[in-house]
Amino acid sequence: MYQLLKEQLAATIEALKVTEFNRGNAIQRLIMALYATIIEQIDSAVTLIDSGRTAGVEAILRTCLEAHVDLLNLASDPVYVDQMQAHYHYQFKLVCQEAMKGTNPFLASIESDAPARYEEHKRELERLGRPLTIQTRFEMAGLNDLYYSIYNSLCCEAHNNMRSLMDRHFINNGTEETPVFQIAIFNDMEKVDFDAAIDGFLSILTGSNRTIHHYLNSGQLDRLEIFAERRAAMSPKEEQTVAKGPPEA
């Protein structure tokens, strides 16, 4: 599946080069920005895997999945942009609130106009409403099952959950009754985790391609659907290979 992902990613980039959209339309620009972000994030994951540094792959998959959720929702309903704007104003309202205290050296450059900015963000939030939770955004995209399962697991990796930290960095060379722990760094991903991550990237890329090219009626989808057909024809037990280190020059 990994080689399939690399081929599908390359074909996606080639199709993007000839995909036309209305650059004067703010919604279409935002949709394309989400799509471009997904492509970049998958490419970053591939780069890490090829260099034998897979520690950040699942964190990238989590961010990629969030972008996919926003892409599905925005392509389905342009009014969804209001919630994305609300999220922006909510976050910067908190930043301004902190800057107004005058005690944070990292926000000193905006202290003087923080009150005015705070009021602006506050007004916009009153107009737009409170931003949706990530759970609600998954539900809107029809991906509620993923929120309580795969996304939850990916969050554990991204947020330094204790279970994830211990699993990733300690090997028990003893027994369960008499453990002998050895610290580890730069270990390869477990095969089951690697397979799941690659399948996740494939699903996101396939779904995003379908969403974009249907939305824009680009005429490029047929050249990309062949990869979904190849994935469907694969045996679930097909061998995967995790890169063992930086490729030779």
Reported as a single tens digit per residue, the pLDDT across 168-190 is: 888 888 898 888 989 988 888 88
pTM of the model: 0.86
In DSSP notation, 43-57 reads HHHHHHHHTT--TTH
User: By C-alpha distance, which of 20, 27, 54, 81 is closest to 217?
Assistant: 20
Q: What is the pLDDT of residues 200-222, one digit of tens each?
A: 999 999 999 999 999 999 999 99
User: Mean pLDDT score of the chain, rounded to an integer?
Assistant: 89
Confidence of residue 235 (pLDDT cuts 50, 70, 90): low
Looking at residue 234, what is its pLDDT?
Answer: 84
Give the mean model confidence (pLDDT) for residues 189-199: 88
